[in-house]
Structure 1
Amino acid sequence: MKTVVALLLVLISVVAGCSSYRIVKNEQDGSANWSTYRTFAFIDTSRIDPSPGTTYQAMMEQVKRAVAVELVNRGYQQVTGDPIAGQPDLLVNIGTVVNEKTQTRPTTIYEAPRYIGQRRYHWQSQEVPVGTYREGTLSLHIVDSRRENLLWDAAVSSILSKKGVTPEQINEAVAKVFSKFPGKAS
């Protein structure tokens, strides 16, 4: 009985340890002295698209809250209001992209047509489309506001469900990307 319980606990920890999020980019400025930075602010993106959809706005606000929590937990203080007037040490830029992708599978020899005829008949495996899905990527750029130098460029990616993205999923994705953050440790 003890071995069954132990095996079950190992299985649960393995499944819980597997994340559906993968870090697709993690580049940093090796010369950056992160201990000199104390404050941060988000770059205003409303000038890019003055009328984004309400779903997009709500999602971006959730991403900003999750990023702010991660940075505050690491000892940085958020500057609110106009980032230029408040002169934060770090500027945080957030970007999201959703791509429609096609899921494929290879054909097998068992799917080859039965053919009797010329000797030059040739069959090879091919990729066959079986469905489509959406993959979302969240990009974070942290910039030194005074030197205008990119300090950290990171991105995390995941397959999106048809129901949409929940705040818990956003928090998990941001936590995953911040697991590689080169700045102050939490």
Structure 2
Amino acid sequence: MNIKTYTYTVLAAILTVTFSCTAGKVIDTNQAAGFSLENYKSFDFYKTDLEIDEMPEYAQRVEWIKEAIKANLSARGLQQDSANPEMLVNIGVFIEEKVQTRETDLRSDPPMYIGQRNYHWEVQEIPVGTYNEGTFTLDFVDKASNEMVWQGVGKSIITKKDEAAKKNIKEAAQKLFTTIE
């Protein structure tokens, strides 16, 4: 199995670059005691010196992720402030190439030769294709204390179709933001 790792920020790990037919699923969320988005008026994204040249097909999708996060934070009353934000947003992505398999079946994969005495037929997993699965986190860090105050983790299949990816990123961000109390 071939694993590709792509980290977008220095702090944590992972928000989905893109999704396939569905907007993915939220796996876990954690928040600090007393956390509320209402405690913050401004945010900005962590600045990194990461070169996106390693995976240019995802550069545009990272921008879509930022747009989706910005839209959700703005809808909750926060404004982006690059000069002096109260909260920093960390996004990251882990992409893993997976192999899709199917089980053999006597109806579709009958034995070709049964003449030997010791011959037996077994159900097997047969590879039929590959796909990319993305695991992601979205972290909110209080700038004053430099402590993470909220984290959401999700997972989904990655699509290569830009329009579907953009739509699914937007839906996934909304789904993740609904978990914030």
User: Normalized against structure 2, the TM-score is what?
Assistant: 0.72
2:101 alignment partner in structure 1: 104
Contact in 1 for aligned 2:141/2:148 (Cα 8 Å): yes
CA gap 1:179/1:135 in 2 versus in 1, 3 angstroms: same
Superposed displacement of residue 143, structure 1 = 1.4
Superposed displacement of residue 28, structure 1 = 1.2
Q: Aligned partners of 1:117 and 1:53: how far apart in 2?
A: 52
1:149 alignment partner in structure 2: 147
**Gap regions ≥5 residues in structure 1:** 1-18
User: Normalized against structure 1, the TM-score is what?
Assistant: 0.70
**Gap regions ≥5 residues in structure 2:** 1-20
Q: Aligned partners of 1:95 and 1:116: how far apart in 2?
A: 56
- 1:13-57 Cα shifts (integer Å, max 9, x gaps): xxxxxx712224322124133142222111012x13275665433
Superposed displacement of residue 61, structure 1 = 1.7
Superposed displacement of residue 93, structure 1 = 0.6
Q: Aligned partners of 2:88 and 2:172: how far apart in 1?
A: 20
Higher helix share: 1
Superposed displacement of residue 158, structure 1 = 2.6
- 1:104-129 Cα shifts (integer Å, max 9, x gaps): 111123335242443x5443311111
Amino acid at match of 1:40: F
Higher relative contact order by CA 8 Å / sep ≥ 6: 1 or 2? 2
Q: What is the aligned length?
A: 157
Task: Give the match's secondary structure for 1:109.
Answer: coil
Q: Aligned partners of 2:126 and 2:137: how far apart in 1?
A: 31
Bigger radius of gyration: 1
Percent identical pairs in the alignment equals: 34
CA gap 1:33/1:134 in 2 versus in 1, 3 angstroms: closer
Superposed displacement of residue 175, structure 1 = 1.5
Task: Give the match's secondary structure for 1:181.
Answer: coil
